[in-house]
Each structure stands twice: as structure tokens, then as C-alpha cells.
């Protein structure tokens, strides 16, 4: 299974900056064993679509839970599909924390993403206090169950311990594998044999110097990368690190 490197820019880069980033990447990018996709802000998607090098895909960071209608400021899955988006992040911890998104809303978004021929990247993960109580597995699996209600097997799951996002702290490869293995088992219960084809990503302060050790674990199939996705040298470093995995 090919590793997926999902580059989550969050609220960074203007369209002109996105074009410059894509041009710099195009000069040095060589396709490897990983699949790269840029999870871009809505306003940069068109700029990237016209400038990304071959072999690098396009994604979005969120989507509306509604098909269409009077929802000012929202962006539908159909709109994203028309722009050439292939993947959509749903349920990122920042959306859950700052916008109050529930598991049910995440599942609704994921279903609409699939209905429009796109692949949802469903994010789950525990906060620090949960881990300190030793409840990280139970908490993450409960979140996963609610977020996949009615969602088909054509999905990517991103495990992102909230305490490791943007903090510089990274779960050890062993800790990442513990949760990835538990998620895989839950996916097998839900989807049967199809679960073996579902990629499980790790997210949380991933960098060129730690991505290989994490993705070498049997149930980790790539990474959801935040800060390190903004600089082309870091992206190239991570892509290179995954070549032999």
C-alpha cells in the first residue's frame, strides 16, 4: 500500500504564494513511493490546480455538511469535485475544538464527500488529559465509530493526538502504532476485508527527521502534516524519507 503524504496548509498562503510554492516544488520534485496531496485553503485550490507538478494531488481542508442551499460561507462537496479535488479532510481537531463539530457532523460531511466521488480523510485523536488517564484507545475508537456512522469503506483515517499538533511534541512510533493497530482492528469489524485497503495516517508535528520511523510501522500508511508542509525543502525531505518504506 502506497503511503499518503497529506500536506495540510491550514490557514496559510495566499493564491500567489501557493503558485510560488508549486513552482518551487515543480523544479525539484521526483515521484517516489508516497502519494502527495496538498490540503489547501479554498481560495488557493484553483491556483494550485493549474500549477502543481504531475504526481501531486489536490485536497481541501473542510466541506459543508449540506449539499447546497442558503448556507452563506459554506463550500459544498460538489464544488470541490468540480475544482479537481480528490481528498477532503473532515473532523480535524481544530474544527472540532474551535467550531464545535460533532462526530455526527463529521460523518455527514464524509458521506457527502463520498457521494461526490471524493475520499474523506477522517481525523480522530485524544487530548493530553485523556492520554494521561490511559484512555487514549477507548476515546479514539469511540470518536472513530461516531465519525464513520453510515460512511463507506473508501476512506482514509488520520490519527492525530491533539497534544502533538503544532506543539513540537510527537508521539513515539510505538505509540502511533498502538493507536493505528487499534483503529485497524475497529475498521476490520466495521468493513471486513475492505479494511486492509484503508490507509491510516499519523498527524502531529511530523517532520523529515521523524516521518520514516513512524511510517515504517505496519499499520501506519502515511502522515497528515501541518507546519512542515509549508516549506518545499521539508516536503521534499519527507518525500525522500518515504522512498524506501
Active site residues per annotation: 92, 160
The candidate with the shortest Cα–Cα distance to 216, out of 185, 159, 177, is 177
Phi, psi of 146 (to 5 degrees): -70, -35
Q: Which residues contact 242 (CB under 8 A, 6 or more apart)?
A: 3, 5, 32, 33, 34, 211, 212, 215, 222
Closest to 40 in 3D by CA, of 12, 21, 66, 64: 12
Cα–Cα distances in angstroms (integers) from residue 101 to residues 75, 96, 105, 196, 202, in the given order: 16, 4, 6, 28, 21
Rounded CA-CA distance 87/80 in Å is 9
Compute φ and ψ for 166, nearest 5 degrees: 70, 10
Alpha helices, DSSP H, located in the chain? 15-28, 45-49, 77-82, 93-99, 103-115, 128-132, 136-147, 173-191, 211-215, 232-241
CA atoms within 13 Å, Cβ hemisphere of 47: 17
DSSP 8-state class, residue 152: -
Q: Distance (Å, rounded) from C-alpha 165 to C-alpha 127?
A: 10
Amino acid at each position: 500500500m502506497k503511503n499518503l503524504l497529506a500536506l495540510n496548509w491550514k490557514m496559510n498562503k495566499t493564491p500567489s504564494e501557493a503558485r510560488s510554492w508549486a513552482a518551487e516544488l515543480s523544479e525539484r520534485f521526483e515521484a517516489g513511493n508516497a502519494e502527495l496531496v496538498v490540503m489547501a485553503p479554498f481560495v488557493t485550490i484553483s491556483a494550485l490546480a493549474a500549477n502543481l507538478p504531475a504526481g501531486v494531488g489536490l485536497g481541501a481542508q473542510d466541506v459543508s455538511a449540506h449539499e447546497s442551499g442558503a448556507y452563506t460561507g459554506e463550500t459544498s462537496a460538489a464544488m470541490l469535485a468540480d475544482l479537481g479535488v480528490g481528498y477532503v479532510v473532515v473532523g480535524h481537531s481544530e474544527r472540532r475544538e474551535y467550531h464545535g463539530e460533532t462526530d455526527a457532523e463529521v460523518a455527514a460531511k464524509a458521506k457527502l464527500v463520498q457521494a461526490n466521488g471524493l475520499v474523506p480523510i477522517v481525523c480522530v485523536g485524544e487530548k493530553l488529559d485523556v492520554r494521561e488517564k490511559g484512555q487514549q484507545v477507548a476515546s479514539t475508537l469511540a470518536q472513530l465509530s461516531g465519525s464513520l456512522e453510515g460512511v463507506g469503506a473508501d476512506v482514509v483515517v488520520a490519527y492525530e493526538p491533539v497534544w502533538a499538533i503544532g506543539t513540537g511534541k510527537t508521539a513515539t512510533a510505538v505509540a502511533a502504532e498502538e493507536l493505528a493497530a487499534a483503529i485497524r482492528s475497529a475498521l476490520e469489524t466495521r468493513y471486513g476485508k475492505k479494511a486492509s485497503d484503508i490507509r491510516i495516517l499519523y498527524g502531529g508535528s511530523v517532520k523529515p527527521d521523524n516521518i520514516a520511523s513512524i511510517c515504517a510501522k505496519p499499520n501506519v500508511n502515511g502522515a497528515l502534516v501541518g507546519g512542515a508542509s509549508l516549506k518545499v525543502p521539508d516536503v521534499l525531505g519527507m518525500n525522500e524519507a518515504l522512498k524506501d518504506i
